[in-house]
């Protein structure tokens, strides 16, 4: 909806609409090009009477790249289901976990899986990128926070930087830039943002 505030995370149903299908996102998720998080992981425990009970496996967290290797979506419930490792299967007595409230990195989804809607609309108005960058500078300089996170392979998690810059624009009641504009700024200011990750 035009003018509606959009956060840096995209819920599953919106990501599917943008990408065309859940399956269209899987190659990117398996390659680690799109970050994802969930609201909790659960599993079914078989009961002695033949029934099943749902139990909590873990609270909210990020979905690992490896988890997408055999992931699928349950068409009836809309849940994302992940196959467990052999060790977990032995412990839990079953081979699948399901996640609720799965969300995806909006910037990556829109960048890697562009739609006509993402392309139309013209250019952004002028934004105070320098002030937003100083906001991230201050965050990183704070000993409570330190450098922004990187993946195991060393690649920076740019979604965190976008979160912080997004936070600045909203706090100053400025119009938040379009997603592609954040990435354009990254391309134009590599030395600035790489320092946030200790690169």
Q: Which of 73, 106, 139 is the last residue of a domain?
A: 106
CB 75 within 8 A of CB 98: no
pLDDT at 100 exceeding the cut of 50: yes
Q: Which residue has the tokens 């002028």?
A: 126
26 with 95, same domain?
yes
For residue 37, being part of any structural domain is answered with yes
Rounded Cα gap, residues 174 and 197, in angstroms: 26
Q: Which residues of 145-157 are buried (b: 16+ CB within 10 A; e: fewer)?
A: eeebeeeeeeebb
Q: What is the per-residue pLDDT for 61?
A: 92
At residue 178 the predicted structure's pLDDT band, cuts being 50, 70 and 90, is confident
For residue 99, being part of any structural domain is answered with yes
Q: Which residue has the tokens 């099943």?
A: 52
Question: How do beta strands 40-46 and 96-100 pair?
Answer: antiparallel
pLDDT at 26 exceeding the cut of 80: yes
pLDDT at 23 exceeding the cut of 50: yes
102 with 20, same domain?
yes
pLDDT at 128 exceeding the cut of 90: no
Rounded mean pLDDT of the chain?
80
For residue 114, being part of any structural domain is answered with no
Q: What is the per-residue pLDDT for 141?
A: 92
For residue 43, being part of any structural domain is answered with yes
pLDDT at 194 exceeding the cut of 70: yes
Q: Point out the least confidently predicted range of 46-60, 98-112, 152-166, 183-197.
A: 46-60
**What's the number of domains the chain is made of?**
2
Q: What is the per-residue pLDDT for 120?
A: 42
Beta bridge partners of 73: 80
At residue 66 the predicted structure's pLDDT band, cuts being 50, 70 and 90, is confident
100 with 135, same domain?
no
85 with 139, same domain?
no
102 with 145, same domain?
no
Beta strands in the chain (DSSP E): 9-11, 36-38, 40-46, 52-58, 61-62, 72-73, 80-83, 96-100, 103-105
The average pLDDT across 134-158 equals 90
- Going by the DSSP 8-state scheme, the letter that residue 59 receives in this structure is -
CA-based nearest residue to 52, from 60, 42, 61, 39 = 42
Q: What is the per-residue pLDDT for 7?
A: 79
At residue 126 the predicted structure's pLDDT band, cuts being 50, 70 and 90, is low
For residue 72, being part of any structural domain is answered with yes
For residue 115, being part of any structural domain is answered with no
At residue 62 the predicted structure's pLDDT band, cuts being 50, 70 and 90, is very high
Q: Which residue has the tokens 């849940």?
A: 79
The average pLDDT across 8-33 equals 86
| Secondary-structure percent of the chain, ordered helix, strand, coil, rounded to 5 | 45, 20, 40
Residues in the chain: 199
36 with 84, same domain?
yes
Residue numbers of the domain that contains 140:
123-196
Token reading at 33: 């090009």
20 with 98, same domain?
yes
18 with 101, same domain?
yes
**Which pTM was predicted?**
0.52
31 with 89, same domain?
yes
Q: Which of 106, 137, 172 is the last residue of a domain?
A: 106
């Amino acid at each position: 909806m035009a003018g509606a505030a959009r956060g840096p995370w995209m819920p599953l149903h919106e990501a599917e609409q943008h990408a065309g299908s859940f399956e269209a996102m899987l190659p990117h998720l398996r390659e680690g090009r799109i970050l994802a998080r969930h609201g909790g992981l659960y599993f079914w425990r078989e009961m002695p009477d033949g029934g099943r009970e749902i139990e909590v496996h873990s609270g909210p967290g990020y979905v690992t790249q490896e988890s997408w290797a055999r992931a699928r979506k349950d068409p009836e419930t809309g849940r994302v289901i992940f196959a467990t490792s052999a060790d977990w299967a032995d412990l839990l007595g079953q081979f699948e976990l399901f996640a609720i409230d799965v969300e995806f990195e909006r910037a990556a989804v829109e960048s890697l899986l562009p739609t006509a809607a993402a392309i139309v609309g013209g250019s952004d108005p002028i934004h105070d990128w320098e002030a937003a960058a100083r906001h991230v500078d201050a965050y990183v300089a704070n000993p409570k926070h330190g450098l922004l996170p990187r993946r195991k392979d060393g690649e920076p998690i740019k979604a965190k930087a976008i979160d912080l810059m997004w936070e600045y624009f909203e706090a100053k009641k400025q119009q938040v830039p379009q997603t592609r504009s954040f990435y354009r700024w990254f391309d134009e200011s590599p030395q600035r943002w790489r320092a946030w990750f200790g690169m």
